[in-house]
Structures are given as structure tokens and as C-alpha cells.
Structure 1
Amino acid sequence: MNKNLNIEEMLKLSQLLWEQNKENWSPMEPSYSKDFLLYLVEELGEVIAIIKKKGTDSIMEDKIIRERFIEEMGDVLMYYMDVLNRLKITAEEFSEIYIKKYEKNMNRNYEKEYKTYQI
């Protein structure tokens, strides 16, 4: 297996895992995407808990904490891929829109935009 996954590969892995467990898991249908976003948020909470309880220095220096942190980040990404799959968002579609947003952000003046929000 490629050790540097791309979006298309992650979507395929998500689909394969679902196919292996589809008898016990929610259908791969759009109506279940909200549930999987909630699972994603739950996993993100676990990521935040590690940062809060162990701190970033531990994530950088302690191999066991780092592996646990990365595992939880992986869970977040897995649920993200489940949402994309349930909404039939392809790797190409996602990449195209992601790049558009990236280019927009590269040309933004954040200081000017957010100046009105500063107190």
C-alpha cells in the first residue's frame, strides 16, 4: 500500500472498509452524511483532548503520544472520507474546488478583511 495516500486512494479505502462491514454499518447513502460529520466531530474532540492533556511538546517528543495523536487524526480523516463517499463527491471534484479555495486564500488580504472584527 502506498505510504503517501492521495484523496482517490483514501476514498477507495473508505469504500472497501464499508463494503467489508456493510451488514452492520450505516448505508453508503447521502442521508447518513450528517451522522458521519458528527462522528468526525467526536473524533476531533479526542484530538483536542490529547493536545489539551498532553500538550504539543509531548506530541512532538513522545513516540507513544504522537502515534495516538496521529491515529486520532486518522480517524477524523476516515470519517471525512466517509462523508465524501456518502455525498458522492469524487477526488477530482474535491481537488478542483480545494485548489480554487486555496488560490482564493493565497490572494486574500486577511489583515484587511478581519480588521473590522478586531476589538
Structure 2
Amino acid sequence: MIEVGEVADIIKKKGDNHIMNDEETRNHFLEELSDVLMYFNDVMLCYSISPEELKNVYLQKHNKNIECW
């Protein structure tokens, strides 16, 4: 999934300041992030994963991670 790599590349090459304050960089970042979200949504649809199912697993994982901190 190249889209995630493109998002990471913008973060690495441009940095937080440009993403937050430079309109062109921010728009490019949001466009690539939208691609990631579209891919993510397609995967959920392909494997019949409901938002509720994902939410439950996410919360379990989140709580487990919080305990480790």
C-alpha cells in the first residue's frame, strides 16, 4: 500500500511545521491521507468488517496499550 508510504514521506520530508502552516503541503498531505482512508474503507468492505466490530477491537487494543504505559 504505497499511500501510507506517501503520507510518511511527506511527514519525513516536509515536517510538522509545513503540514500545519503551508497550504500546498497541507493539501497534498490531506489528499494522500484520503487515499489511505479510501483503501482502509475498501479493505473493511472487502472483508465484511463493520465499524462496530473494528471499534471493539480498537478499544481492546487501546486499553492493552494504555496498560503497558
- Normalised by the length of structure 1, the TM-score is 0.53
Higher share of residues assigned helix: 2
- Alignment partner for residue 54 of structure 1, among 14, 36, 43? 14
Aligned position for 1:31: none
* Structure 1 residues not aligned, in runs of 5+: 1-40, 110-119
Greater relative contact order (Cα 8 A, min sep 6): structure 1 or 2?
1
Aligned position for 2:51: 91
Aligned position for 1:42: 2
Flag the structure with larger Rg.
1
* Structure 2 residues not aligned, in runs of 5+: none
Q: Aligned residue pairs: how many?
A: 69
Aligned position for 2:63: 103
Q: List, as ranges, runs of 4+ consecutive aligned residues in structure 1 with deviation greater than 4 Å.
A: none
Q: Which amino acid aligns with 1:99?
A: L
Q: Which amino acid aligns with 2:46?
A: R
Aligned position for 1:13: none
Q: Which amino acid aligns with 2:30?
A: I
Q: Secondary structure at the match of 1:44?
A: helix
Q: Which amino acid aligns with 2:23?
A: K
The alpha-carbon deviation at position 49 of structure 1 amounts to 2.4
Aligned position for 1:66: 26
Q: Which amino acid aligns with 1:49?
A: D
